[in-house]
A and B are shown apart, each in its own frame.
Chain A
């Protein structure tokens, strides 16, 4: 059914047009106040719009010179006021907030980094580095855009645009159905033509802003001041950061992107100059965007401390990931300040990460605890630091970009500081990234701190055992993480391995040389005596002091701890390999001298099997001193002799090279 006023209007057309417009003058007619044209009869909509066109045409033909004179025509003024109300009304009826469920479903490339943090809290414990978290959160939300298009039940018209942008992660949704957009555009077109662009922008901005505000609430974006955020506990903030990352993705890629598309669909190409669509978009989104960024900004300037590193990196990664989309959504000249602010925050987060790393180095260097850990086991600091740096290695992709300068080992920062260890990175032959050098540096200062702590042990043997345990743990952690191993490099790893071996040697020297000293030949032979050549009394003293020393070593070192089973086993074997042959040969040569005297059991208390078994008690960390048992009587010793030799050979073969070399150094 064609509208009766359709087609070119003559003079009569103009009169009808004025009549239609005056009929809808809401300052005059009650009915006009009650009803909205665009929510009623479509024919009336067409009639009204044509009437406005009619009047504009007539004005153009009378005064070609001044297009702005349109706003001086009373009828047109009435029409514009009416259209502004209609425009607002349509916008309002479609301004419901995008519901959070449909928004949050869409979390493409859900950052694997978010799961790292949960591990950090356990970093002081024995947490293994994360290696498989990668793709778990990668939910493909392909159905999202179709499923949530609001009201209109269409989607075809914008599909072409969507495919253009499919290279990015932007996923627009239809905030307003197509037929309503068409109405809005037809109104905007007429308002702009009559010089009412500013009114149009204001109405559009205020309604859409309130819609965004409601969506923000659904997304849980809070209005927190920087002061508020500085006061919150970090654990609370970690949760907020996690939520913010999700929300920011939705905001940039869906909410803001959809707003941009909506303003384009309504305003693009209208008006004399370009950019009215952009003005409308920014009017709507500028405030919310600044509000959104405010949180990340506040985090980026919070006080730096080591536990914050990984969440800050998550935030940095999320924002860096969003940055290309921010550049697309806010691509205009007028939106420059938003792009600039996002870039500033990104660089501040990077700066924060760098600052925290150096803060961490400083903290490792100066960690002040002086109370020795009982039994010489692994220090909590070592665990903490190693877990921390294996988490760092999980973030190496980001950190390799952020960390571009070498550690300041010899820099002005530490100059004159005696507590800073010397380390020449030039020594390393392989080329290392600055991040890798930082990791090596952290290990260097960790070692240096541990070295300091080891001096607090009264027993030097225990100090060496402590260093052995801790450096071994460092090596073990590096080998356990391929990323870390690759970064630290085999060259430095070899150095570390050498260090814990040396510590093991030093331990054995400090703990066992005096025990073995009892079994030496020198001083036993009495010169000039042909009968035996051995002083019985000296021999008895030797056996007595050996027994006493061995018992003492057994008692104390059963309480010491080597937590790594393999290391513990190797160390025991290495001890046995020196102790047992020496004892056996001593026993073999001098036993007869004792047995021929009185109370031989007072001097020869232990068979070498007893010693072998006793060595197995060592490093178990049993604080209650174990009584050294005599499992087998001395006179059964011979029966085991042969099998023992076989057993030793087998052991030698599997004990590996690590501690075998000790024997050589040990005997020299």
Chain B
């Protein structure tokens, strides 16, 4: 049965002119649903493409709300997750609208649906990794906040600069994530005077390496990039003859892969080497257009940052990184008293840093909650669909 269907599919695939005719001849109650699903995806993902500072010119791009919505910002990631949640809800409705359960136990859906929920389980681990990634960002935020508060008042004194320098070192070390090592360094602040000589007891030194693995609750060999690859494996574009419900299952898998990929690109996760290559979003499909463009844009950003080893593409993190680098330069060349323009420059950067920190402080909590919300949705959706699916399987094949 299945082999036959496959052959037919290949055959139809070769005669591409006929594909649509054959598909339209098939009695399919889900065609309308599919159209709606396509539309929803376009509606939800294309706003994410909008270049906010330009788009909101009339609002003035300096206003916090406009700046806060910037491409790849925490607020943007939340919108991405919003879009995902809407698609997931629509998908569940399409699948469970009860019109015909017989379809879901026939090929290819009898395999695609369990496959989809294997992907979902893998995505749950990504959600957990991202949650921890947000914790790592929060550590960086706290160090950046120390910098900002150290440099709040002018004129700058030697004492303030010393304090800022120490926190800056922590900010930058938290940003340089060693991909292979899981980047666990992020939770340490240095001693006030570089490496200690013989002062620390052997016991103290013994404990130092433990700092490394702390922020990661996943196993050592877990890799975000490989996880994304695993989520996208066996995700084939349906052939023309496939029913529209199969198309929906495919699309949902696609959207899942894309959103998880984008999230991992934005937020630090263990081992992201090779992340740039793992998303097979199909080209030339109307509904996938906005996702295509988003993927290209994020992919470009990723290529730029990948070599340096970064803690992710999240706009705020990138901004903090840049500000921390120039502030480090400024503080390294600090002499008291500071020249007027240098001091003004430093103060301006410190103020910007404080502003980014405020946005992060506001954004990270809701982001973390929303990642959890996605997690919960995925769990619920999986349970609901699998229950119906298992029952349908048994119902249709009583001997199983």
A-side residues, CB < 8 A to B, are 26-27, 33-36, 68-69, 71-78, 80-82, 84-85, 88-89, 92-93, 95-96, 195, 198-199, 201-203, 205-207, 209-210, 213-214, 222-228, 230, 286-287, 290-291, 294, 301, 303, 337, 341, 344, 348, 351, 355, 359, 362, 366, 368, 413, 417, 419
Nearest A-chain residue to B152, judged by Cβ: A68
With both chains docked as a complex, state the minimum distance between the C-beta of A138 and any C-beta of chain B, in angstroms. Answer: 32
Residues of A within 8 A of B200 (CB): 89, 92
Q: Which of B139, B145, B214 has the most CB of A within 10 A?
A: B214
Chain B, interface SS category: helix
A366 near B135 (CB under 8 angstroms)? no
Instruction: Pick the contact of B189: A27, A206, A287, A301 (CB < 8 A).
Output: A206
With both chains docked as a complex, state the minimum distance between the C-beta of B191 and any C-beta of chain A, in angstroms. Answer: 6
Question: Which of B215-223, B248-256, B317-325 is the contact stretch?
Answer: B215-223
Instruction: Pick the contact of A348: B163, B368, B379, B390 (CB < 8 A).
Output: B379
A77 near B372 (CB under 8 angstroms)? no
B193 near A286 (CB under 8 angstroms)? no
Nearest A-chain residue to B127, judged by Cβ: A226
Instruction: Pick the contact of A210: B160, B198, B214 (CB < 8 A).
Output: B214
Nearest A-chain residue to B199, judged by Cβ: A34
A73 near B159 (CB under 8 angstroms)? yes
A287 near B217 (CB under 8 angstroms)? yes
CB of B125 within 8 A of chain A?
yes
> Given A77-B162, A82-B192, A210 and B219 touching (CB < 8 A)?
no
> Given A206-B189, A213-B214, A337-B369, A77 and B121 touching (CB < 8 A)?
no
Interface string of B369-382 (1 = CB under 8 A from A): 10010001001001
Nearest A-chain residue to B387, judged by Cβ: A355
A199 near B146 (CB under 8 angstroms)? yes
Residues of B within 8 A of A199 (CB): 146, 167, 189
Q: Within the assembled complex, what's the spacing in Å between the Cα atoms of A36 and B159?
A: 21
Residues of B within 8 A of A95 (CB): 207
Instruction: Pick the contact of B217: A230, A294, A301 (CB < 8 A).
Output: A294
B residues 140-163 near A (Cβ < 8 Å) are: 142-143, 145-146, 149-150, 152-153, 157-160, 162-163
Additional A-B contact list (18), CB under 8 Å, known A77-B159, A226-B125 = A33-B197, A68-B152, A71-B150, A71-B160, A77-B160, A81-B192, A85-B191, A195-B149, A198-B142, A199-B167, A207-B207, A213-B213, A227-B125, A290-B132, A290-B217, A337-B368, A359-B390, A368-B400
CB of B210 within 8 A of chain A?
yes
> Given A34-B199, A368-B399, A27 and B192 touching (CB < 8 A)?
yes
B398 near A368 (CB under 8 angstroms)? yes
Tier of interface size on chain B: 35 or more
With both chains docked as a complex, state the minimum distance between the C-beta of B139 and any C-beta of chain A, in angstroms. Answer: 8
Nearest B-chain residue to A302, judged by Cβ: B121
Q: Within the assembled complex, what's the spacing in Å between the Cα atoms of A547 and B200?
A: 102
Nearest A-chain residue to B214, judged by Cβ: A209
> Given A33-B197, A71-B160, A223-B217, A210 and B222 touching (CB < 8 A)?
no
Residues of A within 8 A of B376 (CB): 344
CB of B106 within 8 A of chain A?
no
With both chains docked as a complex, state the minimum distance between the C-beta of A617 and any C-beta of chain B, in angstroms. Answer: 39
Q: Within the assembled complex, what's the spacing in Å between the Cα atoms of A124 and B130?
A: 43
A417 near B193 (CB under 8 angstroms)? no
Q: Within the assembled complex, what's the spacing in Å between the Cα atoms of A514 and B188?
A: 92
A301 near B192 (CB under 8 angstroms)? no
Nearest A-chain residue to B188, judged by Cβ: A206
B residues 352-400 near A (Cβ < 8 Å) are: 368-369, 372, 376, 379, 382-383, 386-387, 390-391, 394-395, 398-400
Nearest B-chain residue to A355, judged by Cβ: B387
Residues of A within 8 A of B158 (CB): 74, 77
CB of B203 within 8 A of chain A?
yes
Residues of B within 8 A of A209 (CB): 187, 211, 214
B-side residues, CB < 8 A to A, are 121-122, 124-125, 128, 131-132, 135, 139, 142-143, 145-146, 149-150, 152-153, 157-160, 162-163, 166-167, 170, 187-189, 191-193, 196-201, 203-204, 207, 210-211, 213-220, 222, 227, 368-369, 372, 376, 379, 382-383, 386-387, 390-391, 394-395, 398-400
Q: Which of A92, A198, A227, A294 has the most CB of B within 10 A?
A: A227
Q: Within the assembled complex, what's the spacing in Å between the Cα atoms of A74 and B152?
A: 15
With both chains docked as a complex, state the minimum distance between the C-beta of B74 and any C-beta of chain A, in angstroms. Answer: 17
Q: Within the assembled complex, what's the spacing in Å between the Cα atoms of A202 and B174?
A: 13
Q: Which of A202, A303, A419 has the most CB of B within 10 A?
A: A202
A81 near B153 (CB under 8 angstroms)? no
Residues of A within 8 A of B135 (CB): 286-287
> Given A74-B158, A286-B135, A301-B379, A88 and B163 touching (CB < 8 A)?
no
Residues of A within 8 A of B213 (CB): 213
Nearest A-chain residue to B129, judged by Cβ: A225
Q: Which of A92, A225, A290 has the most CB of B within 10 A?
A: A225
Which 6 pairs of residues, A with B, have the shortest CB-CB distance?
A77-B159, A291-B217, A210-B210, A81-B192, A74-B159, A26-B193
B157 near A74 (CB under 8 angstroms)? yes
B204 near A92 (CB under 8 angstroms)? yes
Residues of B within 8 A of A35 (CB): 199
Q: Within the assembled complex, what's the spacing in Å between the Cα atoms of A201 and B146?
A: 11
A84 near B204 (CB under 8 angstroms)? no
Nearest B-chain residue to A417, judged by Cβ: B395
B383 near A72 (CB under 8 angstroms)? no
Instruction: Pick the contact of B128: A73, A81, A294 (CB < 8 A).
Output: A294
Can you list 22 A-B pairs, Cβ within 8 angstroms, ordered by A? A26-B193, A33-B197, A34-B197, A34-B198, A73-B159, A78-B159, A92-B203, A198-B145, A199-B146, A202-B189, A206-B188, A223-B216, A225-B219, A226-B124, A226-B125, A227-B121, A230-B121, A287-B132, A287-B135, A301-B382, A341-B372, A348-B379
Q: Within the assembled complex, what's the spacing in Å between the Cα atoms of A329 and B393?
A: 45
B199 near A225 (CB under 8 angstroms)? no
Q: Within the assembled complex, what's the spacing in Å between the Cα atoms of A438 and B204?
A: 59
B391 near A413 (CB under 8 angstroms)? yes
Nearest A-chain residue to B369, judged by Cβ: A337
Nearest B-chain residue to A231, judged by Cβ: B121
Nearest A-chain residue to B376, judged by Cβ: A344
Nearest A-chain residue to B167, judged by Cβ: A199
B398 near A366 (CB under 8 angstroms)? yes
A33 near B217 (CB under 8 angstroms)? no
Q: Within the assembled complex, what's the spacing in Å between the Cα atoms of A203 and B187?
A: 9
With both chains docked as a complex, state the minimum distance between the C-beta of A306 and any C-beta of chain B, in angstroms. Answer: 13
A76 near B159 (CB under 8 angstroms)? yes
A225 near B398 (CB under 8 angstroms)? no
A419 near B192 (CB under 8 angstroms)? no
Residues of B within 8 A of A69 (CB): 153
Residues of B within 8 A of A84 (CB): 189, 192
A89 near B131 (CB under 8 angstroms)? no
With both chains docked as a complex, state the minimum distance between the C-beta of B335 and any C-beta of chain A, in angstroms. Answer: 14
Nearest A-chain residue to B388, judged by Cβ: A413
Q: Within the assembled complex, what's the spacing in Å between the Cα atoms of A226 and B146?
A: 36
> Given A287-B135, A287-B214, A210 and B207 touching (CB < 8 A)?
yes
A210 near B211 (CB under 8 angstroms)? yes
Nearest B-chain residue to A290, judged by Cβ: B217
Residues of A within 8 A of B394 (CB): 362, 366
B222 near A225 (CB under 8 angstroms)? yes
Q: Within the assembled complex, what's the spacing in Å between the Cα atoms of A368 and B399?
A: 6
Residues of B within 8 A of A85 (CB): 191-193
Q: Within the assembled complex, what's the spacing in Å between the Cα atoms of A466 and B157?
A: 95
A26 near B192 (CB under 8 angstroms)? yes
> Given A202-B143, A355-B383, A362-B394, A33 and B193 touching (CB < 8 A)?
yes
Q: Within the assembled complex, what's the spacing in Å between the Cα atoms of A361 and B398?
A: 14
Q: Within the assembled complex, what's the spacing in Å between the Cα atoms of A280 and B383?
A: 37
With both chains docked as a complex, state the minimum distance between the C-beta of A556 and any C-beta of chain B, in angstroms. Answer: 31
With both chains docked as a complex, state the minimum distance between the C-beta of B172 and any C-beta of chain A, in angstroms. Answer: 15
Q: Within the assembled complex, what's the spacing in Å between the Cα atoms of A46 and B173?
A: 35
B187 near A205 (CB under 8 angstroms)? yes
A93 near B204 (CB under 8 angstroms)? yes
With both chains docked as a complex, state the minimum distance between the C-beta of B197 and any C-beta of chain A, in angstroms. Answer: 6
Residues of B within 8 A of A205 (CB): 187
> Given A81-B192, A355-B383, A228 and B398 touching (CB < 8 A)?
no
